[in-house]
Amino acid sequence: MGFRGSWANTHRATCRFHLPRGRLRPQPRLTPWEVQTVTTTTGLLRWAESKRQLLPRLAQFWQASDSRYVEPFAGSACLFFHLQPREAVLGDLNTDLMATYRTVRSSPDAVAARLSEMPSADEAFYYKMRDEVTSPLSAPDRAARFIYLNRYCFNGLYRTDLNGHFNVPFGGDRTGLLPSRSQLRKIAYRLRGQTLVNGDFGSTLRHVRQGDFVYLDPPYWVEGRRVFREYSSSVFAEGDLKRLKRWLTHLKERGIAFVLSYAHYRRARLLGR
């Protein structure tokens, strides 16, 4: 088994344990509309510390023989949407995020209809939506609310207080337009047939099988302080980092290809040893 590694220009480590070449499975032929849909799909969400700017570099680690894409810290899943694999497992601890992906996959037109009724970059409306009680809302209403708040919140953060209430302030009007019906349909197409897991990273990694490619972009743990971009009351701590290290060792021993992105500082050495 070989090893390849490099340092990204943002001082984040990127390493891949890779497998020998494998045989490609026969791929079904796509209609012209499906071909256009696949080749023009972009991600749905903004996300703090997204690797969007590193996509060309990260994409080089994906190989044609990788049979399935697995991402246990999905967030905006920008690498998934960039690579457009035919089969994937996307997981995240964020319940609202994964529910939004499921609803957009099953009801893109209903979500688009709700979004079309919302004003663009309206600060008063933003805070009204942020303070809204979500329990009575339908699934399309909840998904539209999530997308709206994500589009116009500060810096693409998803952060909650100790009671689980979203508390990120309004971020201004320079974050682009809300996704259109056409864009949501394309996102739905890309998510069709993919496995979506709402849970801890271990819940997603339990799905890994031979031939998979795993991309991991975990939250940072900085000893003695809370990182501002952390998005819930469940802080990613030293114990989680050590547990992630055990999973990486397990993947390596099984010969599973993986890429890990993490901050370049002393705690990263815990994952690299």
Domains and CATH numbers, the chain: 2-272 (3.40.50.150)
Phi/psi of residue 103, nearest 5 degrees: -70, -40
Closest by Cα among 161, 166, 134 to 150: 166
The pLDDT assigned to 18 comes to: 35
Query: Global pTM?
Result: 0.82
Neighbouring CB atoms inside 10 A of 267's CB total 14
Mean pLDDT, each 10-residue run in order, the chain (273 residues):
34 38 32 44 83 92 96 96 97 96 98 98 98 95 98 93 91 92 97 97 97 94 51 68 93 96 68 61
Dihedral-angle region of residue 119 (phi above 0 means left; psi in -120 to 50 means alpha; beta otherwise): beta
Distances (CA, A) of 4 to 13, 138, 259: 11, 47, 10
Residue type, 181: R
**In this predicted structure, what is the pLDDT of residue 228?**
44
For residue 162, the model assigns a pLDDT of: 83
pLDDT tens digits along 51-101? 888 999 999 999 999 999 999 999 999 999 999 999 999 999 999 999 999
Give the CA count within 13 Å in the CB-facing half-sphere of 40: 11
Q: Give pLDDT, residue 161.
A: 87
